[in-house]
Structure 1
Amino acid sequence: METHLGYEYQQATKYQRDAMPSRQLDMSTMPDSYREYDGPHIPLPKPNIQESLSLWDTLAKRMSIRRFSGAPLSLEIFGQLLWGTYGATRVAREKSFFFRTAPSAGGLFPVEMYVSVHRVASIESGLYHYSVPRHGLTLLKEGNFGKELAEASLSQGMLKKSAVNLIWTAVLPRTFWKYGERGIRYIYLDAGHVGQNTYLVATALGLGCCTIGAFFDDEVNQLIGVDGKSETTIYMASVGNPD
């Protein structure tokens, strides 16, 4: 078999019954499970969790859609999309820990969500960070960044035509704190859960969605302002009204 870093990583991080890694966790150094930015904050409408499509219909209808009409999302639909993707479902630990709509290995929640808004009613185009505790957006940069994201994603034109693009990063120390080198496996599993949530929520809301794994990492990292080391882009999605 040809040697690749992926194979080497998979072998090096296997659990062996007779050689399990021993890690003493220092709870005083446990990283926060979410981040907040300073800046203008936009609260989003409280999510409506009344049933629309059944789960089974949603699963059957789910597909990748790359053509968008250009019609804007309503503020209510947009807020529902973000909450369903990665919003808080309940709070614990003296109101400092938030369970999410997506599961996470060890309850560490390494994923952060950034949103490039192009066409949403009542929200100016810009790059935002999604606040889990406040279910709202913090403005990072003004402007429409669809063209830059498309160019950074191997010229996938749907990123220019979507209503919003979701950008998910991983804050690596959150998972490494507990799982060490094996944590990379769990981070990408977490991202998969978040991506599937997006597909199902978009489908239930009558929206089109397509997730994206092909992009120039450092170009996206630079655009959203993360260092690409301790926090780095791992997954993206375009969402909008289907054409």
Structure 2
Amino acid sequence: MEKHLGQLYQQKTKYSRSSLEGRKLDWDNRPDSFKEYDGEYLILPGPLPDDGKSLWQSLRERKSVRKYTGEKLSPEELNRLLWAVNGTTRGTAPKDFYFRTAPSAGGLYPVETYIQINRVRDFKPGIYHYSVPKHGLHLLQEGEFGSSLAGAALDQPMVENSAVNFLWTAVTSRTFWKYGQRGIRYIYMDAGHVGQNLYLAAAALDLGCCVIGAFFDDEVNKLLGVDGEDETIVYMASVGRP
């Protein structure tokens, strides 16, 4: 029986004792572990005092929620969600390297966070990029993109009805630099870690969340202004008040 492309990839990228070869890393050309845009970033206050639910309660309450009230989120809620997803926990040498709230294979952090705001108090609707070192947001495009993004997500109404949508791209060269073609496995693992962080943060804040794997890749990439090759959409999530 003919194997599917995914099965072939899984077989071709297996490690085995007989074929495992070391890779010589080109440290002079190591890709950056985060992306920055030119222009002003709106700086967020960072992690706030721990006055919410316990981790264990958040785990128990975590679930996918697809219906939202249409009520706006507060800036404080957005701040906490963003920090939970991809915020820094500590910096270290070499310069401009940051550990994050979600783990990443090899500390390479291929996942970039964008958000599409429908309804957040004090924020203009539009598409933003999240800066890891600044813990800030840069407005890429101002406007009402909920309907367009919902259409790109196979017409799932929760995308338009949510307060905010998280869009995670992968800068593939960051992972390929160390792991070669096997790196695709690790990119999707990393995205899964980030998605679970959002679920738990939403549960802790009594918000609804639902991750999304069904979308027209090229349409989402176009909305974000990424090339779909070195940087491409891999995962999405909607968040709102249930």
Return the TM-score normalized by structure 1.
0.97
User: In structure 1, what is the equivalent of residue 70 of structure 2?
Assistant: 70
CA distance in 1, matches of 2:238, 2:212: 8
Aligned to 2:203: 203
Unaligned runs of 5+ in 2: none
* 1:87 matched residue in structure 2: 87
- The DSSP-based 3-state class of the residue aligned with 1:31 is coil
**Match in the other structure for 2:47:** 47
For the residues of structure 2 that align with 1:12 and 1:101, how far apart are their CA atoms?
32
1:150 corresponds to which residue?
150
Compute the RMSD of aligned alpha carbons: 1.0
Equivalent residue runs for 1:65-214 within 5 Å: 65-214=65-214
Amino acid at match of 1:176: F
Q: Deviations over 1:148-182 (max 9, x none)?
A: 11000110000001000000000000000000010
Mapping of 1:232-243 within 5 angstroms?
232-242=232-242
SS of 1:134's partner is coil
CA distance in structure 2 between the aligned counterparts of 1:128 and 1:85, rounded to whole angstroms: 15
Q: Which runs of 5+ in 1 are unaligned?
A: none
Q: Which amino acid aligns with 2:227?
A: D
- 2:30, 2:163 → 1: CA distance? 37
1:86–1:49 CA distance, 2 compared to 1 (3 A): farther
Q: What is the total number of aligned residue pairs between the two structures?
A: 242
Taking the aligned partners of 2:59 and 2:13, their CA distance within structure 1 comes to 33
Range moving further from structure 2, 126-135 or 16-25: 16-25
Is the CA contact 1:45–1:75 (under 8 Å) kept in the aligned structure 2?
no
TM-score (norm 2): 0.98
Measure, in 2, the Cα distance between the counterparts of 1:234 and 1:39. Answer: 26
- Please give the alpha-carbon distance, in whole angstroms, between the structure 1 residues aligned to 2:71 and 2:153: 23
Post-superposition shift, 1:51? 4.3
User: In 2, Cα distance between the equivalents of 1:148 and 1:90?
Assistant: 37
How much has 1:19 moved relative to structure 2? 1.1
Separation of aligned partners in 1, 2:178 and 2:200? 30
Aligned-pair CA distance for 1:49: 4.2
Taking only the aligned residue pairs, the percentage that are identical comes to 60
